[in-house]
Amino acid sequence: MTLLAEVPELGALNNKQVASLMGVAPITQDSGALKGKRHIRGGRALVQHAVYMAALVATRFNPDMKRKYKTLIENGKPPKLALTAIMRKLIIIANALIRDN
């Protein structure tokens, strides 16, 4: 419900745009030969909090998301980064569902 109420753009944007709008797209901090870390920032806080809680539940009870989360952890990714990847995946799925009715 929060996604529908707070993000009227959902369904009209592509995956990268909607992830950036929500603040879960990695932003690079590169300059010339310097390769910085990627960070997420910005986005709509209310929606981000709701999707965070949904991602926590999905990593415990949704078999596909649980498998993806465990794979990321086993590949050496920090738990918070893996959870952000699940958040992004949930937002992209919601965008596709709304776009395709």
pLDDT of residue 52: 94
* Angle of the 45-61 helix axis to the 79-99 helix axis, nearest 10: 100
Place of tokens 């997420």: 40
- The tens digit of pLDDT for each residue in 7-57 reads 888 999 999 999 888 888 877 777 778 777 777 778 888 998 999 999 999
Prediction pTM value:
0.86
pLDDT of residue 51: 93
**Where is pLDDT greater, at 68 or 48?**
68
Please state, in angstroms and as integers, the Cα–Cα distance from residue 98 to each residue in 9, 13, 101, following that order. 10, 11, 5
Q: What are the sequence ranges of the domains in the chain?
A: 2-99
Q: Is 53 helix (H, G, I), strand (E, B) or coil?
A: helix
Mean pLDDT of 51-72: 96
